[in-house]
Amino acid sequence: MKVMKKENNTKANLIKSMAVPASAMMVLSGASAVILANDDVNLAPVIEEPAPVESVIPDGPIGEPVESSAEITVSEETETYNSQESEAPAAAEEEVPAEDGQSEDQQKEETPEEAEQTPAATPEPAPVTEPDAAVNTVPTDAAAPAPEATVQKTETTAAAAPAANAKAETPAVDKEQEEEAYREQYHFSNEKGWSNDPNGMVYYNGEWHLFFQYYPDGVNHGPMSWGHAVSKDLVHWAELDIPDTFNAALFPSEDGTRRHFSGSAVYDKDNTSGFFKDGQGGLVAVWTVAGRPAGMSGGGSQRQAIAYSTDGIHWVEPDLGYDRVYVDRDGNIHELTEKQKDYYKNVVLSEYNVPLAVRDAEGNIIGTTSQDPLNNSAFRDPKVFWHEDSKQWIMAVAGGPLRFYSSPDLKTWTAQAMQDDIITECPELYYLPVEGTDEYKYVLSEGGRWYQIGDFKEVDGVWTFVPDTMNGPTGDVPLRLNMNYAPDAYAAQSFYKEDGRVVMVQWMSNWSYADNSTVRQPDGSKVTLEGIRKMLGEKHNGQFTLMADLSVVRTPEGLRLKQTPVAEYDQMKNLEVKDDIVLDDKSNPLEGIHSQQFQFEIEFAPEKGTEKVVLEVLKNKDYQTTIWYDVNTGILHVDRSKSMAAEQAPADHMQNGTWFKFLQDYTAPVAMTNGKIKLKVFVDNYSVEVYAGNDTIVLTELVFPYKDADLLNLYAVGTPVNATYSFATMDSYRKDNTDMRNLSGTLADAKDQLERGQGNYTDESFKALQDAYKAAFAAAFNPDSTQNSINLANYALTNALTNLRANADKPITVTPEKPTTVTDIYDSTAKPVVSETPAQAVSAASVSSEGTPTAAATGFGMTLATAIGALAGAVFTNRKRREQE
């Protein structure tokens, strides 16, 4: 979808002041927060990391703390959105100059001194044992094929446009779009520019609203806005205009920058906020505004603001009337200027150096009250939910240390537990049913990388997250589990929805290579890395994982979070092939299939002596992504180390003291259930997601396959195994789909018939069915097929089946041994010659047959030789019929 930029970037929708008395907040205490690094006690593969270069920085993401018991002092002075030092924006990217003369990006870039005191915030880098191993993972092949451009049809299907979506636009297909080399087809991605975290997710009036961190004018992180997409079914998305409120460009430089960082939205059904008409609810967004207004330098610059809306498109920023002052570095207190007041008018929780004023009767300032008891400059990513037990709103907010707040009305917030032993970006507390019980648990997501299971209860008078399971040598470290075992899922957020359904999505990328960042090397030098933009190009950089329903399940190891891709994806299944097979090291049941956009499920029961079961996807002669289960170790691998040429992939690098390598094998332990393993694999244009262990194990990886890498290979090593699989190509929500559902059914029917063998059917009609099946199968996996050629293939196959059944000499009694692969029946390497003219098909049919067109003659997606052979068969069949008459 095309995003329309507003022509008039004037401040919109200012409303009259709504004075709300400042609630008494907890008086600030202490100076700097002390952060304890947790021990890593999850099931992740053991990682040996080189010693951090900057020893005071917690490694990796928040969520991947250093394995150290050292206490880390975090300064309150530094603002950070993540630990990376960003490069200056590319010339084409618009800079928003800040009041103090710095560009946005300069502002983001921290001084080394600041950086050292800043909690790191990137998702964890890949586990790499030996830095140098990177060099040899993929054979250096000078003649490696370059990624090719592919033609994209970007029409929006009718089903894609949500009703209320007045602003949704059918995008024009411009040249740039057509040449886009990589574009997800059934995963949501923003049409242009940069995106990161999902934001403001809320279900409202029959529509799912997905906002996201957005910079439309470049493909690196920039001055952030909120992008907006809407769906009626979680699968078809329409991208909308950026709401004025969330458009960073609205705020002129004289007011300072105003970047819109991550946050959430709720449906205030009962109008607790009073923003809506009586008896009607509406939406309230709560998010982080970052950036310092004019006249306020240094110190914290992240605060939580609110806005409300009745349609999700037009938002109003209320004036809450809080009385705040600014405290400079020397401790001097300043009244806010009118402009600063305006800037802060909809802020519900401000940073520690813009505290609430305490005044005497004459209005003189006699003190201040900080709204952040931790006084920590990393204060962002509020996620709000309704807490039924205490009948109030709860906010989890972090960016650094985790804090909880409560509110009756979304406007006045009271500090609850300050859990500064948990350091994370984008925190969220899910309230989830334990499957098969009446029980519910709270699951704390640490930015979608880790989770803890426990309860949310009052401890010493404050609402606190209390983990169920403690661990570690002294039993005082909470059990933290992997939410995703691979690197490309971050900043998880779920939709606010009233009926208890919890649907979550993640940004499908990783700060380590998402943008072109500058990172410090072990020798102190700085290197600017080319991230995935190398492959994605300059049009867009951002995509999101599959939507997943969340719940909690009991496993032999204890309670675990279950992430099940939403059932709505089933409607995207187009051509489906299913089978029961015996897998060995010779046959490939998926031979003949060409696809980079599919869903695959397999269940298999390893035998004694079975060593591994392997699925190779996105495969050509030289490259592939390999998903395999090692029966002996119980480890599942999703290995992208040979997915592309090393020199074309993002470069290996040292970041926050850890080596990061893109071409890497990722693993997860997966136990068998009743002697079986079940895997769900979702492949889109440039991503692979694998779900295992009853959806308690998830691995999400970006891969950048060459355009001819569309083959699959499925086999087992060691004793053969019984398996059931289903393979389905997936529709695109971005363009018109060739509907192969009818063909899918006919193929299944024909395959079943063919597997039962010729029996006493005539040679000719059986051969004709074989040929028609072959042609139809090849047409189904030919990217050049059209709706017409698919319909004709289906018609031909239907006729071949009818013809066959009409030509049995006696009832079938023989059931020969089933072939193991679809291509055992045929060699399906020949690609059909596809014609688009129905008239040709009809005329071919009429030549070949005096009565009903035969399967072969109407098998329009066939090679000429096959067609001629089929015609001969058809003539023979008709002659035979005449003889019989």
Comparing CB distances to ligand FRU, the nearer of 82 and 758 is: 82
Nearest distance, CB of residue 167 and ligand FRU, angstroms? 24
Q: Interface mask (CB under 6 A) for ligand FRU, residues 577-606, using x and -?
A: ------------------------------
Comparing CB distances to ligand FRU, the nearer of 399 and 454 is: 399
Nearest distance, CB of residue 200 and ligand FRU, angstroms? 12
Nearest distance, CB of residue 100 and ligand FRU, angstroms? 21
Beta strand pairing call for 33-36 and 71-74: antiparallel
DSSP label of 812? -
What is the rounded end-to-end Cα distance, in angstroms, of the chain? 62
Q: Does 121 bind ligand FRU (CB under 6 A)?
A: yes
Comparing CB distances to ligand FRU, the nearer of 404 and 507 is: 507
How many C-beta atoms surround the C-beta of residue 206 within 10 A?
9
Q: Does 262 bind ligand FRU (CB under 6 A)?
A: yes
**CB contact at 8 A, 29 and 392:** no
Q: Interface mask (CB under 6 A) for ligand FRU, residues 52-91, using x and -?
A: -----------------------------xx---------
Q: Does 782 bind ligand FRU (CB under 6 A)?
A: no
Helix (H, G, I), strand (E, B) or coil at 689: strand
Note the maximum CA span of the chain: 115
Interactions with ligand FRU, residue window 534-563 (CB under 6 A):
none
Comparing CB distances to ligand FRU, the nearer of 220 and 288 is: 288
Report how far residue 184's alpha carbon sits from residue 34's, in angstroms, rounded to the nearest whole number: 42
Comparing CB distances to ligand FRU, the nearer of 491 and 804 is: 491
Comparing CB distances to ligand FRU, the nearer of 276 and 490 is: 490
Q: Does 213 bind ligand FRU (CB under 6 A)?
A: yes
Comparing CB distances to ligand FRU, the nearer of 426 and 712 is: 426
Report how far residue 812's alpha carbon sits from residue 805's, in angstroms, rounded to the nearest whole number: 10
Nearest distance, CB of residue 484 and ligand FRU, angstroms? 14
Comparing CB distances to ligand FRU, the nearer of 290 and 855 is: 290
Q: Is 722 exposed, middle or buried (0-12, 13-18, 19+ CB in 10 A)?
A: middle
Nearest distance, CB of residue 288 and ligand FRU, angstroms? 6
Q: Does 177 bind ligand FRU (CB under 6 A)?
A: no
DSSP label of 59? P
Q: Does 505 bind ligand FRU (CB under 6 A)?
A: no
Q: Does 105 bind ligand FRU (CB under 6 A)?
A: no
Q: Does 425 bind ligand FRU (CB under 6 A)?
A: yes
Interactions with ligand FRU, residue window 333-362 (CB under 6 A):
none
Comparing CB distances to ligand FRU, the nearer of 196 and 264 is: 196
**CB contact at 8 A, 119 and 83:** yes
Report how far residue 329's alpha carbon sits from residue 28's, in angstroms, rounded to the nearest whole number: 16
Comparing CB distances to ligand FRU, the nearer of 224 and 874 is: 224
Q: Does 224 bind ligand FRU (CB under 6 A)?
A: yes
Nearest distance, CB of residue 379 and ligand FRU, angstroms? 10
Among 186, 226, 261, 733, binds ligand FRU (CB under 6 A): 261
Q: For the residues of 103-133, what is the DSSP string, one character each? A: -HHHHHSPPHHHHHTSPP-SPPPPP-S-GGG
Nearest distance, CB of residue 79 and ligand FRU, angstroms? 11
**CB contact at 8 A, 433 and 551:** yes
Comparing CB distances to ligand FRU, the nearer of 423 and 477 is: 423
Note the Cα 636 to chain centre separation in Å.
21
Comparing CB distances to ligand FRU, the nearer of 78 and 799 is: 78
Determine phi and psi for 878, rounding to 5 degrees: -70, -40
Residue nearest to ligand FRU (CB): 261
Nearest distance, CB of residue 213 and ligand FRU, angstroms? 4
Comparing CB distances to ligand FRU, the nearer of 304 and 597 is: 304
Q: Does 380 bind ligand FRU (CB under 6 A)?
A: yes
Among 197, 420, 488, 689, binds ligand FRU (CB under 6 A): 197
- What contacts 411, CB < 8 A, 6 or more positions away? 20, 273, 306, 318, 320, 348
Nearest distance, CB of residue 301 and ligand FRU, angstroms? 12
Q: For the residues of 155-211, what is the DSSP string, one character each? A: PPPGGGS-TT-TT--PPP--HHHHT-S---SSS---SSEEEEEEEEEEEETTEEEEE
Report how far residue 128's alpha carbon sits from residue 696's, in angstroms, rounded to the nearest whole number: 24
Nearest distance, CB of residue 577 and ligand FRU, angstroms? 39
In this structure, the dihedral spanned by the alpha carbons of residues 753, 757, 760 and 763, taken in order and rounded to 10 degrees, is 90
Q: Does 636 bind ligand FRU (CB under 6 A)?
A: no
- What contacts 736, CB < 8 A, 6 or more positions away? 153, 155, 157
Q: Does 449 bind ligand FRU (CB under 6 A)?
A: no
Nearest distance, CB of residue 244 and ligand FRU, angstroms? 19
Nearest by Cα to 775 from 697, 691, 844, 714:
844
Question: Exposed e or buried b for every residue in 731-744, given b needs 16+ CB within 10 A?
Answer: bbbbbebbebeebb
Comparing CB distances to ligand FRU, the nearer of 262 and 551 is: 262
How many C-beta atoms surround the C-beta of residue 759 within 10 A?
16
Size of the site for ligand FRU (CB under 6 A): 16
Comparing CB distances to ligand FRU, the nearer of 347 and 768 is: 347
Comparing CB distances to ligand FRU, the nearer of 291 and 373 is: 291
Q: Is 447 left (phi over 0), alpha (psi -120 to 50) or beta?
A: left
The count of C-alpha atoms lying within 13 angstroms of the C-alpha of 821, restricted to the half-sphere facing its C-beta, is 20
Comparing CB distances to ligand FRU, the nearer of 61 and 162 is: 61
Amino acid at position 804, single letter: L
Among 426, 536, 654, 754, binds ligand FRU (CB under 6 A): 426
Q: Does 491 bind ligand FRU (CB under 6 A)?
A: yes
**CB contact at 8 A, 552 and 433:** yes
Nearest distance, CB of residue 85 and ligand FRU, angstroms? 14
Nearest distance, CB of residue 426 and ligand FRU, angstroms? 6
Report how far residue 681's alpha carbon sits from residue 558's, in angstroms, rounded to the nearest whole number: 25
Containing 536, the helix (H) or strand (E) segment is helix 533-536
Nearest distance, CB of residue 490 and ligand FRU, angstroms? 6
Q: Does 260 bind ligand FRU (CB under 6 A)?
A: no
Nearest distance, CB of residue 487 and ligand FRU, angstroms? 13
- What contacts 250, CB < 8 A, 6 or more positions away? 9, 10, 11, 12, 244, 258
Q: Does 196 bind ligand FRU (CB under 6 A)?
A: yes
Neighbouring-strand partners of residue 86: 517
Rg for the chain, CA atoms, rounded: 30
Comparing CB distances to ligand FRU, the nearer of 449 and 612 is: 449
Q: For the residues of 320-345, what is the DSSP string, one character each? A: ----BEEE-TTS-EEEPPHHHHHHHT
Report how far residue 261's alpha carbon sits from residue 108's, in angstroms, rounded to the nearest whole number: 13
Nearest distance, CB of residue 669 and ligand FRU, angstroms? 27
Report how far residue 287's alpha carbon sits from residue 265's, in angstroms, rounded to the nearest whole number: 8
Nearest distance, CB of residue 10 and ligand FRU, angstroms? 25
Residues lying near ligand FRU in the complex (CB under 6 A) are found at: 81-82, 121, 196-197, 213, 224, 261-262, 288, 380-381, 399, 425-426, 491
